[in-house]
Structure 1
Amino acid sequence: MPKPRHATEPDWPYGTFLQRLTPAARTALLDLGVRRQVDAGQIVIHEGGRESYLVLLEDGLTKVTAGLPDGRTALLALRIGGDLVGEMSALNGRPRSATITTCGPTRYSVIRPDRFKLYLRDQPDAALELAAMVSDRLRWSNRRRIDFTGYSVKVRVARVVAEMCRTHGRQQRDGVVIDVRLTQPELASICGAAETSIQKALRELRGEGLLDTDYRRITVRDLTGLRRSAHIDPDVD
């Protein structure tokens, strides 16, 4: 019988909710829900839905999307194993603000809101980390809004790719491979730009030797140069 993940893989990705928790709080949370495993393309949370359960991602990659007034879909964020999603509806009872869709085989736990609230009462440090996580996500959202008005498309693309290196990158001998299969329309959505502008920005970044692109994959050849092109302070992690 396989051991649970928290017994065999204690290192969760940096910045995820599980990584923020103490070992005791992490174990308690992992034991709280009902585990499920699904394939790619499955919707685990529907925008506008009235249900209020939380989803604790344990393995896999998901996309956070929301519908736009013109009928298009905006890619808001990516969430990976260790992340918690659906917390807003669980805590305030409002309809879902976004859709969560799996990008590949995904394992996750479904947690009832009443159980989660009891967990937060029993684990006050986890409640503080939840507040910190929500604050970080709000900061990221605000930063993206500033990027849309204050930077060129090329800088925006560089900033998004540099952030994805930090959260989803895998170091290899020839660079940092971003293990996220994003289409150019999806990258355009998260950068707030037209697809033709994204193509031009990627072409320029490739020409400068900062990155390579192939079928839905980005390899960053020069992360320091990319961060410089993204106007990211070298002292900011």
Structure 2
Amino acid sequence: MGVDGVTRRPDAPPAKGFLARLPVAVRRELLGRGRRCRYEPGERLLLEGGTDTHVVLLTSGFVKVTNNVEGVEALVAIRGAGDIVGEAAALAEQPRMASVTACGVVIGHLVTAEAFRHVLGRHPDAARLVTTTVAERLRWANQRRADFVAYPAEVRVARVLVEIAGTYGRQADDGSVVIDVPLSQPELATMIGAAEATVHKALRALRDDRLIRSGYRRIDVLDPQALRRMAHEPPDLTA
């Protein structure tokens, strides 16, 4: 773990995510109780099965959340600036349920389980937000399982890309949405529960329809509204 020596520094909050939804005073208290850490690309923040119980508050960069399934590392989620990771182990005091790996340089605040629980005990609104965050993540996982039954692979890929682009994408000058998180075809395959060859075919179809542009570990959404229609999602009225 890379610790850059800066402690108790209440960084400015990201624009969205768990931290942005906290009251300002609670956010400052929680960050102030943490140890500011820098993680290098590919570095593990958390390891599945680990018995440590701290949480990490992400203030910059992206991470991938993975599970080991019969020797294959399956991508189950992406988290970015403003998100919290490791809260389940801190609250339940059980081994880690997933690994978390830095995608590029990541800055976060490491908060001990004791300090985290102390803040939640003092601030019921923060405790409710943690509960809400856990429920939202469970709902997302359940939706992916439901998608597996309800939709073909091409639609499932589109639905995942809509979700990722809406949460972690950035608008380009040409109106496309750039997904800054590096995504490989095997990772997308594990996320939607399909063979890699099936995902390759689905991405090719989306490219042929000019809905996306893809390269090595990179995907840009060229027509966000059309991709939403492909994904059976309602139009984004804020776009």
| Superposition TM-score tier, normalisation by shorter sequence | over 0.9
Q: Which runs of 5+ in 1 are unaligned?
A: none
Q: What is the CA deviation profile of residues 100-151 of structure 1, one whole-angstrom value per residue up to 9, with x for unaligned ones?
A: 1111111111111111111011111111111111111011000000011111
Deviating 4+ runs (over 3 angstroms): none
What is the rounded CA distance, in whole Å, between the counterparts of 1:236 and 1:147 in structure 2? 23
**What is the Cα deviation at residue 236 of structure 1?**
8.9
Write the mapping of 1:131-210 to structure 2, written as runs, cut at 5 A.
131-174=131-174, 175-210=176-211
TM normalised by structure 1 equals: 0.93
Distance 1:138 1:120, change over 3 A: same
**What is the Cα deviation at residue 235 of structure 1?**
6.6
What is the rounded CA distance, in whole Å, between the counterparts of 2:199 and 2:94 in structure 1? 35
What is the rounded CA distance, in whole Å, between the counterparts of 1:158 and 1:236 in structure 2? 18
**Does the 8 Å CA contact 2:10/2:28 hold for their aligned counterparts?**
no
Secondary structure, in 3 states, of the residue corresponding to 1:60? strand
Aligned residues: 230
1:127 maps to which residue?
A: 127
Distance 1:20 1:218, change over 3 A: same
Secondary structure, in 3 states, of the residue corresponding to 1:116? helix
Percentage of identical aligned residues: 45
What is the rounded CA distance, in whole Å, between the counterparts of 1:34 and 1:5 in structure 2? 10
TM normalised by structure 2 equals: 0.92
Secondary structure, in 3 states, of the residue corresponding to 2:104? coil
**What is the Cα deviation at residue 5 of structure 1?**
6.2
Secondary structure, in 3 states, of the residue corresponding to 1:104? strand
Secondary structure, in 3 states, of the residue corresponding to 2:65? strand
What is the rounded CA distance, in whole Å, between the counterparts of 1:43 and 1:216 in structure 2? 19
Of 49-58 and 138-147, more deviation after overlay is shown by: 49-58
Secondary structure, in 3 states, of the residue corresponding to 1:209? coil
Of 150-159 and 48-57, more deviation after overlay is shown by: 48-57
1:37 maps to which residue?
A: 38
**What is the Cα deviation at residue 206 of structure 1?**
0.9
1:213 aligns with 2:200: no
Distance 1:52 1:192, change over 3 A: same
What is the rounded CA distance, in whole Å, between the counterparts of 1:225 and 1:115 in structure 2? 46
**Does the 8 Å CA contact 2:62/2:103 hold for their aligned counterparts?**
yes
What is the rounded CA distance, in whole Å, between the counterparts of 1:88 and 1:25 in structure 2? 20
2:3 maps to which residue?
A: none
1:230 maps to which residue?
A: 231
Secondary structure, in 3 states, of the residue corresponding to 2:94? coil
Q: Which runs of 5+ in 2 are unaligned?
A: 1-5
Distance 1:83 1:202, change over 3 A: same
**What is the Cα deviation at residue 13 of structure 1?**
3.8
Q: CA RMSD in A?
A: 1.6
Q: What is the CA deviation profile of residues 68-95 of structure 1, one whole-angstrom value per residue up to 9, with x for unaligned ones?
A: 13x1111010111111111111111111
What is the rounded CA distance, in whole Å, between the counterparts of 1:159 and 1:236 in structure 2? 17
What is the rounded CA distance, in whole Å, between the counterparts of 1:177 and 1:81 in structure 2? 16
Distance 1:185 1:13, change over 3 A: farther
**Does the 8 Å CA contact 1:65/1:99 hold for their aligned counterparts?**
yes
Partner amino acid for 2:47?
H
What is the rounded CA distance, in whole Å, between the counterparts of 2:202 and 2:76 in structure 1? 20
What is the rounded CA distance, in whole Å, between the counterparts of 2:88 and 2:106 in structure 1? 22
**What is the Cα deviation at residue 20 of structure 1?**
1.0
What is the rounded CA distance, in whole Å, between the counterparts of 1:164 and 1:45 in structure 2? 22
1:106 maps to which residue?
A: 106
